Amino acid sequence: MNKQVVVGCGYVGTRVARHYRDQGEAVTGIVRSDAGVARLEQLGIKGLHCDLAAEDLGDLGLAGARIFHLAPPPGSGVQDPHTRHLVELFERFGHPLRVVYISTTGVYGDCAGAWIDETHPVAPVAARSQRRLDAEETLRRWSAASGRDLVILRVAGIYGPDRLPLERIRAGTPMVRPQDAPYTNRIHVDDLVTACIAAMERAPSGGLYNACDGHPSTMTDYFLDVAAAAGLPSPPLIGLEEASDRLSEGMLSYLSESRRLRNDRLREELGVDLRYPSLAEGLRGLF
């Protein structure tokens, strides 16, 4: 029987783990907190407490397993030591059969609004995206050296139940005017879970897929659409100059990158049938 391990078993990972639990397959979720272990155990999922930031980790039983790696890198720097520590564990205690890694579309950097697919060169700008590329490269080196399978999903902005910017909208935080807003891409969490499982079950090793709904829109349209669907007032709209004073550093960093992602490979090669091919459909399902 297959043994699945979800490293970083949070919002997305728990849904992946529930799928394997429901199939009657062995699945363990690795989390950083005791509260995370308790949450998993309540769902009938075996939880394991481990902080990948630690240098000297013990045997987590990953040899021969099928691993979903969803644990984020640390909050600073341009490398991902967490993924490096994970690979050190593989080398010390035995390699997994396959790793499905959840990366981000941020690795493409700013594309000035162009439509791009997986053949587009990577050029991460933000440090958070450089850390993701470092993780991808660490895992590629591991896969080449060990001969074990690696599949990478480059994931767009995740939304779903309890994952919408409602607090921000309720607080009346402004957004930039539509003409100043960059293009962004999204995926509904249910479709991301489907993509993760497809990547594990049937992707060729070395597979690389954009995991997004294929209908990018501007960041401002996203906030306006969510507000309308939730019956909340639209956020006030401001110019870019004012935005640099009033918006958070994180939001300004997102606003400085614009790209429109194609998902043909996910749908046609991996055969993922998206339940929510656009935000409009996703929001209809949520409200």
Ligand X SMILES: NC(=O)c1ccc[n+]([C@@H]2O[C@H](COP(=O)([O-])OP(=O)(O)OC[C@H]3O[C@@H](n4cnc5c(N)ncnc54)[C@H](OP(=O)(O)O)[C@@H]3O)[C@@H](O)[C@H]2O)c1
- Rounded to the nearest whole angstrom, what is the least distance from the CB of residue 250 to ligand X in the complex? 12
Residues 118, 69: contact at Cβ < 8 Å? Answer: no
- Rounded to the nearest whole angstrom, what is the least distance from the CB of residue 78 to ligand X in the complex? 16
- Rounded to the nearest whole angstrom, what is the least distance from the CB of residue 135 to ligand X in the complex? 9
Residues 187, 246: contact at Cβ < 8 Å? Answer: no
Please say which residue, 70 or 152, places its beta carbon nearer to ligand X: 70
* Burial grade of 13 (CB within 10 A; 0-12, 13-18, 19 or more): buried
**235 residue type, one letter:** P
- Rounded to the nearest whole angstrom, what is the least distance from the CB of residue 8 to ligand X in the complex? 3
Please say which residue, 168 or 177, places its beta carbon nearer to ligand X: 168
Residues binding ligand X (CB under 6 A): 8-13, 30-33, 36, 50-53, 70-72, 82, 102, 104, 155, 157-158
Please say which residue, 82 or 98, places its beta carbon nearer to ligand X: 82
Q: How many residues does the chain have?
A: 287
Which is nearest to 79 in space by CA: 127, 117, 41?
127
- Tokens at 206, concatenated: 């070395």
Please report which helix (H) or strand (E) contains residue 281, including its range.
helix 279-286
Triad 166, 167, 173: Cα angle to 5°: 100
Residue nearest to ligand X (CB): 10
- Rounded to the nearest whole angstrom, what is the least distance from the CB of residue 67 to ligand X in the complex? 13
Please say which residue, 177 or 221, places its beta carbon nearer to ligand X: 221
Please say which residue, 98 or 188, places its beta carbon nearer to ligand X: 188
* Burial grade of 248 (CB within 10 A; 0-12, 13-18, 19 or more): exposed
Please say which residue, 53 or 280, places its beta carbon nearer to ligand X: 53
- Rounded to the nearest whole angstrom, what is the least distance from the CB of residue 53 to ligand X in the complex? 5
Residues 29, 42: contact at Cβ < 8 Å? Answer: no
Q: Give SS3 for 206.
A: coil
- The residue to which tokens 């935005």 are assigned: 243
- Rounded to the nearest whole angstrom, what is the least distance from the CB of residue 241 to ligand X in the complex? 27
CA 268/CA 270 separation, integer angstroms: 6
Please say which residue, 33 or 244, places its beta carbon nearer to ligand X: 33
